[in-house]
Amino acid sequence: MLFNSIEFALFLPIVFALYWFATNKSLKLQNILLLIASYFFYACWDWRFLFLLMFSTLLDYFTGLKLDQVTNRRNKKIWLWISITINLGFLVFFKYYNFFIDSFAQMFSAAGLHFSPITLNIILPVGISFYTFHGLSYVIDIYNGKIKSEKSFVDYAVFVSFFPLLVAGPIERASHLLPQIKKERTFDYGRAVDGLRQILWGLFKKIVIADQCATYANLIFNSPEDFTGSTLIIGALFFTFQIYGDFSGYSDIALGTARLFGIELLRNFAFPYFSRDIAEFWRRWHISLSSWFRDYLYIPLGGSKGGTWMKVRNIFIIFLVSGFWHGANWTFILWGALNALYFLPLLLSNRNRVNLEIVAAGKTFPTFREAFNIAITFTLTVFAWIFFRAEDIGHAFGYISRIFTAPFFPVTVFEGIYQALGAAVVIVFFMLIEWKGREQQYAIAKLGFTWSRPWRWAFYSFIIFLIGMFMETNEMPFIYFQF
């Protein structure tokens, strides 16, 4: 079930009505309803994998109880590693089995040895990378004494499978979400309206920005040999806005939907394309994943406290693992390595935490230096996205090579070029709104509050009009469902 589907447009108000009007007298009934709704939501993808989600939930629930019960440190570690091994085992099997087998076959072939790999026709369970990390953070936090195990299975299961975040995050922490699940919730009209506003902006990002950009990004990336260098750059720019509109749009819808039920999820994006350096970009892009790797991988490895070699090693580990988390392809690993190279100069010069606040806070325009730094960071990011989007490493290097070797001008006239120009105009409008609202939790959180009601509703109506005008007959899946 897609957020941008008719099915979800029917599902959400039904669950909302039952939640606030049929079960509002009992927190336990509300949580049971959320669990049933979440399992139904997931089963709409493929009901067979619902059992995998349930098994993972049961595993970490009972592991958490055992970690609190045993007092011997050695036994605690055994239970911890049982959970980690089984969870990562499922993740590796479903997501990386064929990748490892094919990579070994290529390695043996390069050495002149014959190896016939046995590959499997494996379907990747939607959301497995996200709910696996939910469970892992839970058991690790219990092991480290940061939280206590949850006694209510229903409450824990809702934490793992809450439908707004189930298939593409944000990656929640038990310390943040579980207390909200266990606390009585009352309907707040202002919070609900704010949630609807964020859902609206998320749908705009997905349908008007991401889906339109996808059309032209796919066209250009699928046959780079047919285009001039300038057109290939345009293709990379379209993908840059596609992936941001798609993933941050999903996160906005997820956060807005959760707010309708009185729950606040972790913020996942904070206007990353206005970053002044790569370190700031990674504090603002997919925040829940970046912070997860920081807390559960980077810091345990020693973080940036050791010598130069340790700092370099840890940065490469965290970025390579982050790249590999995104998919079973060498392009993601190379994308991670490239971002590590971008990050290293800032870390080694102790300038990785210089830009902590939003750019030009309280001002209309950035300074020339800020604008220059934003432009440089954005350019580096666009270049890295080429590897992320490419089908394989050969495709990536071929695309980049043609940018510099093919004639640069004119822009290639392709089918739909005038519609692409219209999409570019909408992107400019979108980025202006994002800039205007960059100090808020999302771009239109406060936009129009000082306007008269007719003007404010005219703006919302215009956004709805654009969503309706650009909506495709067939719903477009979200990019991060494949991760």
100 and 228 both lie in a single domain: no
Considering the domain architecture, whether residues 169 and 203 belong to the same structural domain is answered as: no
Catalytic residue among 114, 134, 286, 326: 326
Distance, in Å, from the CA atom of 252 to the CA atom of 189, rounded to the nearest integer, reads: 19
The answer as to whether 368 is a domain residue is yes
In a domain, 462, yes or no: yes
Residue 182 and residue 214 share a domain: no
Give the helix, strand, coil percentages of the chain, each rounded to 5: 70, 0, 30
Q: Where are the beta strands (DSSP E) in 144-296?
A: none
41 is in which domain, residue-wise?
A: 6-187
Q: Per the domain annotation, does 471 fall within a domain?
A: yes
Q: How many domains does the chain have?
A: 2
Taking the C-alpha atoms of residue 215 and residue 207, their distance in angstroms, rounded to an integer, is 12
| Residue 235 φ/ψ, nearest 5 degrees | -60, -40
Q: Domain check: are 160 and 234 in the same one?
A: no
Q: Does the annotation mark 326 as catalytic? A: yes
Residue 199 and residue 193 in contact, taking contact as beta carbons nearer than 8 Å = no
Q: Tens place of pLDDT for every residue, the chain, 483 residues?
A: 788 889 999 999 999 999 999 999 999 999 999 999 999 999 998 888 999 999 999 999 999 999 999 989 999 999 999 999 999 999 999 988 888 787 777 776 666 766 666 766 778 888 999 999 999 999 999 999 999 999 999 999 999 999 999 988 899 999 999 999 999 999 999 999 999 999 999 999 999 999 999 999 999 999 999 999 999 999 999 999 999 999 999 999 999 999 999 999 999 999 999 999 999 999 999 999 999 999 999 999 998 888 889 999 999 999 999 999 998 899 999 999 999 999 999 999 999 999 999 999 999 999 999 999 999 999 999 999 999 999 999 999 999 999 999 999 999 998 889 999 999 999 999 999 999 999 999 999 999 888 998 999 999 999 999 999 988 777 787 887 766
Distances (CA, A) of 135 to 62, 194, 195, 274: 11, 29, 26, 33
Amino acid present at 308: T
Q: Which residue, 113, 135, 120, 164, is CA-closest to 52?
A: 135
Residues in the chain: 483
The strand ranges marked E within 342-469 are none
Say how far apart CA 263 and CA 269 lie, in whole Å. Answer: 18
Encoded amino acid at 283, one letter: R
Has residue 51 been placed in a domain? yes
Q: Do the beta carbons of residue 254 and residue 168 sit within 8 Å?
A: yes
Q: In which residue are the tokens 């006239």 written?
A: 413
Give the separation between CA 424 and CA 15, rounded to whole angstroms: 37
223 and 160 in a single domain? The answer is no
Residue 68 lies in a domain: yes
Q: Are residues 157 and 212 in the same domain?
A: no
CA distance 176 to 173: 5
Q: How many CA atoms lie within 13 A of 93 on its CB side?
A: 9
Q: What is the pTM of this model?
A: 0.95
Decide which of 161, 187, 213 is a domain's last residue.
187
Two tokens, residue 409: 């001008």
Residue with tokens 């692409």: 420
| Residue 251 within a domain | yes
Cα(308)–Cα(137) distance, rounded to whole angstroms?
29
Asked if 181 and 195 sit in the same domain, the reply is no
Same domain, 396 and 268: yes
